[in-house]
Amino acid sequence: MSNSKLRDNVERWLIHESHSFEFVKNEENSFHILVKHAGKEGLPVEIFEPKKQPGIIVVGSKVIMKNNQIARFLGFNPEEKKRFENKVADYCYSIQAVHRMIEEDGKQKIGVFVILDDKGDINQQSLFEAVNKVTEMHEKTARFLLKTF
């Protein structure tokens, strides 16, 4: 599936499901879409195709740490930060989420992602199953942070 065909399909599927979305400029991706209210929770979800991995769709959401959590995290020494990041990694692994620690807009965030990499299996149903899974993982990760941090 060509890059523009993949993007066109995702756009068509989002329109078909009545999702409001916008294209985001991101040099690392062939296309990058922000769905404003997705899944059961109505969370912002990003859908993109990395330029370095054509034909792969990444569906993700970012859990923004609360201000008191960010302050605490920023006060950590390198060893404590590493321990915290390992704890997050272990948790994300347990819920089958690909994750990444992100610092963006002055906030500390944890991105949780589902990767659709089987070209024959990227369709409207698999995309929206991934969106629902990502919103569920977002909520679980947010609860995990509240309980453990």
- How confident is the model over 60-86, as a mean pLDDT? 93
Q: Dump pLDDT digits (tens) for 89-133.
A: 999 999 999 999 999 888 899 999 999 987 777 999 999 999 999
pTM for the whole thing?
Answer: 0.89
**Choice between 35 and 121, residue whose per-residue pLDDT is larger:** 35
The predicted structure's pLDDT at residue 101 = 94
Dihedral of the alpha carbons of 15, 18, 24, 28, in degrees to the nearest 10: -60
- The residue ranges of every structural domain in the chain are 3-144
Q: What is the DSSP string of 93-137?
A: HHTT-EEEEEEETTEEEEEEEEEE--GGG-SHHHHHHHHHHHHHH
The predicted structure's pLDDT at residue 3 = 60
**For residue 111, which amino acid is it?**
G
Percent of the chain with pLDDT over 90: 78
CA 83, 89, 95: angle at the middle one, nearest 5? Answer: 145
- 2: pLDDT strictly greater than 80: no
The predicted structure's pLDDT at residue 130 = 94
Domain 3-144 has CATH 3.30.1460.10: yes
